[in-house]
Amino acid sequence: MDTNEAYNRIKELRKQLEEHNYRYYVLAEPVITDREYDELMDELVKLEKEFPRFADPGSPSQRVGSDISSEFTQVRHVYPMLSLSNTYSHEELADFDARVRKNIIEPFEYVCELKYDGTAVSLTYERGALIRAVTRGDGVQGDDVTANVKTIRSIPLRLRGSDYPELFEIRGEVFLPREGFLKLNREKEKKGEALFANPRNAAAGTLKLQKSSLVAKRPLDCVFYALYGEELLEDTHWGNLIKAREWGFRISGEMRKCANLDEVFEYIGYWDKNRLELPFDIDGIVIKVNSLKQQKKLGYTAKSPRWAISWKFSAERAATILRSIDFQVGRTGAITPVANLDPVPLSGTTVKRASLHNSDYIELMDIREGDTVFVEKGGEIIPKIVGIDSSKRPDSSQRLKFIDKCPACGVNLRKDPDEARHYCPNHSGCPPQIRGRLNHFVSRKAMNINMADATAGQLISAGLVRDPADLYSLRKEDVIKLERFAQKSAENLVKSIDESRNRPYHNVLYATGIRYVGETVARRLAENFSSVDELASAGVEILAETEEIGEKIAASIAHFFEDPVNRQFIEKLKRAGVQLQRRDDNLNKPAGGALKGKKFVVSGVFENYSRDEIKEVIRKNGGSVVSAVSASTDFVVAGENMGPAKLEKARRLGIPVISENELEEIAGKQKS
């Protein structure tokens, strides 16, 4: 075969294979057998190897995968992948509907979709070709898994037609059908390997394999549920998904438009009864406002959209015997009682342990060793004890007495009157707390140091690390003495520690482990306090005014910096050279602007902007957004249905209450 013949045959094979993928996965109307498909694919792969000049990253041959191992790189999402708020009751869903109706005056409709139980991915297409696939990660950034995603046959590498936007993202759920999951576990069992607990774990684990050739051998599937971009063709969520189906994407045939809440409940009821008849797992229903304009008006909270909610199906319940109770010490010193159970199958996994939360929970439930207990999975993930069969309680049963000393260091426990948990106050001397803080510090969402949990224990036991700041004093010669460390692995650890010095300021704040300061709170603190010194010197009142920082979090932050041990820890981090002040490339907050130094409270619903867009205008012009009205507030930006308490307090304190148009004028921003 000469070059021209090869080129023409390669083009023809690619066209045929793309058409067969579309017919099989999107239309569910295959016209050839699997064997015939494989023969076409084998011919294409051989020709492309023989004529490498015709290689194409969008070729169907990419679905075979590669044997080359590749580390995943981190990619920042253009559109953050936020999680959905969950609801389990009719009342909570009715509350969601009421909030939507309060803020959307004109008619609207919902789109209901199955909530596939897999792992989320975001795919970017440019000029009709797949250029990138990224996992959800922490919602802000995820792993680039493009090579692995290309092996999934239900995902188009090139789009059909020509009316798609030049650049857009599409979100989907990668999952394993039940039949494929059972087959995969049978193969693992034959090899003597550990089995996957459930299809969700199997899908997530497969997508993170280092060799795409191995991914190609597993029957992953993908269904798509949302489009993002600046030039989408339709003004409704439903319309965009229908267009996406024409371009070759697999869109769920079970989604439905609902005119009101009664129709939503009807849809939920149907799938609650019939979900087991599906060939794949679902764990709930997603309800979305259909209009993109109305979605924009409703906006977002820090963690989730206000225009969508997830209904979770009732958890599966199982009965088993509680044999004993252990007491665990967390990194903050919190004591968590954990029940050891007779193993029992539940929602695709075998449950052996369940959290008992705190002493109040144990006392309220009157939980005792030897009891027959009912176990559920909260959100079908975390096992919890929800009841007791008292008729089966042994005659010798005795009420449980909660411990009064730390099980790890023997120090007397403390329980504040307004707290539900007991705490070990030995912050700097309790081994589980030290190890927990170290593991938290190196975690991916914190300093992202490539270090195993077991290594933390070794470093502490060897006396090399007393607090996380000591990591920056480690030398390769120190590490190589540890068990399971060789020259290369020691060099890699020291290199990873050194690279963490460049982690952004908000990641460092999260890594310090201040109680109640999670990722979102850390980001807010970094936006409002330019350095750790400014944060440390802020009093409780100023901290509590910051957006999303209430009095409880403010008191915890102030208490952290009052502790001499913590102050010494921060000083060691400074000497190590980690980022303890904001940089422009970290959070994109301008140093100047027409609103520099001004504090704003934003409340109500706005005509031209979502609430988040109002806040962005303020921040881009140098101002800051606080959550509570106080004497130090400069302006209140008020929309419709503003909270009456905030309005009254602003008037009492003489704080100007302005509209969105007045904000534009103050900011010097002219609408185009």
Which two structure tokens, joined as six digits, stand for 388? 């007791």
Domains 431-502 and 505-587 share a fold: yes
pLDDT in tens, 83-135: 888 888 899 999 999 999 999 989 999 999 999 989 999 999 999 999 999 99
Buried b (16+ CB within 10 A) or exposed e, 546-567: bbbbeeebbebbbebbeeeebe
> At a CB cut-off of 8 Å and minimum separation 6, what does 571 contact?
none
Give CA–CA dist 597/582, Å, rounded. 16
pLDDT given at position 264:
96
Q: Supply the pLDDT for residue 317.
A: 81
What pLDDT, in 10s, does the model give residues 585-625?
A: 444 444 567 888 888 888 887 877 777 778 888 888 888 88
CA distances from 287 to 301, 308, 512 (A): 17, 6, 37
**In CATH, which of 3.80.10.10, 2.40.50.100, 1.10.150.20, 1.10.1660.10 is domain 431-502?**
1.10.150.20
CA distance 255 to 238: 9
Specify the length of the chain in residues: 672
pLDDT of residue 671: 41
**Pairing of the two strands 635-638 and 599-603:** parallel
How high is the pLDDT of residue 25? Answer: 66
Q: Which amino acid is at 473?
A: S
- Give me the active site residues, please: 115
Q: How far is CA 78 from CA 331, 551, 583, 598, in A?
A: 33, 33, 20, 29
Residue boundaries of the structural domains of the chain: 3-64, 86-312, 317-392, 431-502, 505-587, 599-667
For 424-446, b/e burial (b = at least 16 CB within 10 A) is bebbeebebbbbbbbbbbbeebb
CATH class of 86-312: alpha beta
Specify the CATH superfamily of domain 3-64: Helix hairpin bin (1.10.287.610)
Amino acid letter for position 670: Q
Please give the structure tokens belonging to residue 415: 């329980």
What is the pLDDT, as a whole number, of residue 67? Answer: 54
Three-state SS for 512-533 is CCCCCCCHHHHHHHHHHCCEHH
- pTM (two decimals): 0.55
Q: What is the pLDDT of residue 381?
A: 58
Options 3.50.50.60, 3.40.190.10, 3.20.20.60, 2.40.50.140; CATH of 317-392 = 2.40.50.140
Structural tokens at position 27: 């239309």
Which superfamily does 505-587 belong to?
5' to 3' exonuclease, C-terminal subdomain (1.10.150.20)
Q: How far apart are CA 143 and CA 119, in angstroms?
A: 12
- Could you tell me if 515 and 332 are in contact, meaning their C-beta atoms sit under 8 angstroms apart? yes
Segments of the chain with pLDDT less than 50: 379-380, 585-590, 670-672
Q: What is the CATH number of domain 599-667?
A: 3.40.50.10190
